[in-house]
Structure 1
Amino acid sequence: MYETILVATDGSSPANRAVDAAVDIASTFDADLHVVSVVDTSRYGDSMLSGTEDVIDELRGRAEEILEDVETRADVDVTTEIRRGRPHEEIVGYADSTDADLLVVGNRGLGASGQIGSTAERVVRYVDRPVLTV
């Protein structure tokens, strides 16, 4: 049913639940699992960050730690990717480039509240493939 699954993570608790669900689904269907983490430069403004590569390096380092954690937790082969930009745009773009059959995202991210997070909402709105929010 699923050959390629993409899960997006920012290291938050909902994203970790999404990773666990994606690993389970990939294991069940013997699917390829892709994990993407996006360095959210839109939060700070790309123009503001252009002169501060230290900030970008720190954010990228955090993303690398998150992806390494996923690789050690997963009992399936994982392909990881770090992207830079607006999270929903990068997640949708990566889903398109890998032709993912299913996207798995946390229902809230680092700015957790009682409602669905803006990134999850935008992914659901702009992607043309099934999305599981966890």
Structure 2
Amino acid sequence: MTQSIITGVDGSVPAQEAAATAARIASALGATLHVVSVFDPSSRGASQPGFEPSLAADRIAADSAATLQREFPRLSVVGQGVAGHKPAETLVTLAETLDAALIVVGNKRVKGLGRLLGSLASEVAAKAPCDVYIAHTHD
């Protein structure tokens, strides 16, 4: 059975940098890379009429996956939007579902307690059912 590696994207440059790191690792291991964008199903984009969160998440994941597929043509890449209220918990749950070998996240800096790793990275590392790779994604 092929190993699965998961990475989360949100359309930001740091997330895409982490996804590129995930692609390098997945390529080296012959693993399938799952590029995931988490959306809140209760959000209806109040500021933008007609905005559909699931379609936006699917587009972000698909664009990121397509970019990685061009860079790593032999890599198996799956892009998908996934419903969830909290991105870290959603990535952890998906890792459990897929029996993933690894979750790759960035360490985008934030203020407060999560400042050293970033709140998403800290939460994923604390709850993941598999190894977590925290990619250096800031200057």
TM-score (norm 2): 0.75
Within the alignment, does 1:117 sit opposite 2:118 as a pair?
yes
Indicate how the Cα distance of structure 1 residues 117 and 51 shifts in structure 2: closer, same or farther if over 3 A, else same: closer
Q: Report how far residue 40 of structure 1 moved.
A: 4.0
Structure-2 residue corresponding to 1:127? 128
Structure-2 residue corresponding to 1:61? 55
Task: In structure 2, give the amino acid aligned to 1:113.
Answer: V
Deviations 1:3-61, CA, capped at 9 Å, x for gaps: 211111112222111110011111111111111110146xxxx4xx4796x5760x333
Distance 1:70 1:51 in 2: 22
Q: Paired residues, what number?
A: 123
Q: Report how far residue 95 of structure 1 moved.
A: 0.5
4+ aligned runs moved over 6 Å, structure 1: none
Structure-2 residue corresponding to 1:77? 76
**Where does 1:46-57 land on structure 2 (aligned, <5 Å)?**
46=42, 49=43, 57=52
- Provide the secondary structure at the position in 2 that maps to 1:104: strand
Structure-2 residue corresponding to 1:14? 14
Deviations 1:58-117, CA, capped at 9 Å, x for gaps: x33332222122222222221222122211111100000011101001112xxx537222
State the superposition RMSD in angstroms. Answer: 2.5
TM-score (norm 1): 0.78
Indicate how the Cα distance of structure 1 residues 35 and 15 shifts in structure 2: closer, same or farther if over 3 A, else same: same
Instruction: Name stretches of at least 5 consecutive residues in structure 2 with no aligned partner.
Output: none
More helix by share: 1
Say if 2:57 and 2:80, in contact at 8 Å, map to a contact too.
no
- Provide the secondary structure at the position in 2 that maps to 1:121: helix
